Amino acid sequence: MLRTATVSFLALATALPAVATELNLYSSRHYDTDFQLYEAFTAATGITVNLIEGSGDELQARIEAEGANSPADLLLTVDAGRLHRAEIAGLFQPVESAVLAERIPADLRHPDNLWFGLTTRARVIFYSIENGLPEGVSTYEDLANPALEGEICMRSSSNIYSVSLLAELIDALGAEAAEDWARGIGNNLAREPQGGDTDQIRAVAAGECAIGISNTYYWGRLKSSSNPEDVAVADATAFIFPNQDDRGTHTNISGAGVLVHAPNKDNAIAFLEYLVSDEAQQILADGNNEYPVAPGVQITGPMAAHMDFRRSEVNASVFGVNAAEAVTIWDRAGVP
């Protein structure tokens, strides 16, 4: 049954099923602000949120091991690639909800409603404010220019963020051109890929490379840190949103899906619908310096000044569909 689309939490609460007891949430998000969401949802609905935390891979393995007896109602994880892994393992069931259809753009949810994006993050190009952005860089394609030899820092090509970016480029450019791009990136590395996204931003600030590839929320964490050294790194760096004059910037998601054996399906759908209310979207996004998926939601953290950009509207499911090919291309290109 389709639910009536609402924006406010209170309006949403009136549509809850009569029997409301508990929700078993398996989540790879580990942010203190998320507990605000659970407490507010419980206060309004009487539904107790039972939380199981772990990495996305750990939680998927656990759900698969539990099989039909799994108590899990909802899996919440980061990156559309990880949602795809759970999808192809048969872990999700389709959900029909007018609330989710109205509040979440079509490209940020699965075409068959198996999972739904709840927040977004952009994968951008960082540079040193002191040294400036290298000339001629405005797109991902530009990063393969031989003029940038020895100038780029990135994390491992096997990381899900690197895989998802290349997966979109396969869709946008075709496999052959995407492989040429990957080889160009490999030729332009300032060092062997190492560390996480924050390490790439730090390397740019330290002058180890002219360009770093990272998700926006890592810069937001540095900017909002209580450690003055972190803030100094943020203040020493800036970023551009690539491909603003054509298809837009690669934008990935944190998202969730209702599990196929969910014992509390209605409660899981109600929680998803709550998570796209204005109140919850602001908490979700600011809690990890991400962007809300629902239109018109205002955030208050450091990313609030960086919301005006064109994002790519390729459906996020492409990141998973093309993931295996992306891994193969990175390997053939010889990028560690």
How many Cβ atoms sit within 10 Å of the Cβ of residue 44?
15
Mean pLDDT of 104-125: 98
H or E stretch including 325? helix 323-333
pLDDT at 4 over 50: no
Per-residue model confidence as pLDDT tens digits over 73-96: 999 999 999 999 999 999 999 999
pLDDT at 136 exceeding the cut of 60:
yes
Mean pLDDT is lowest, of 19-33, 111-125, 143-157, for 19-33
pLDDT (tens digit per residue) in 158-199: 999 999 999 999 999 999 999 999 999 999 999 999 999 999
pLDDT, residue 14, reads 42
CA-based Rg of the chain, rounded to a whole angstrom? 20
Go through the domains of the chain in sequence order and give each one's CATH number: 9-120+252-302 (3.40.190.10), 121-249+319-333 (3.40.190.10)
pLDDT at 19: 57
pTM (global) more than 0.75: yes
Please write the tens of the pLDDT for every residue from 216-240: 999 999 999 999 999 999 999 999 9
Render the burial of 93-110: b for 16+ CB within 10 Å, e for the rest: eebebebbbbbbbebbbb
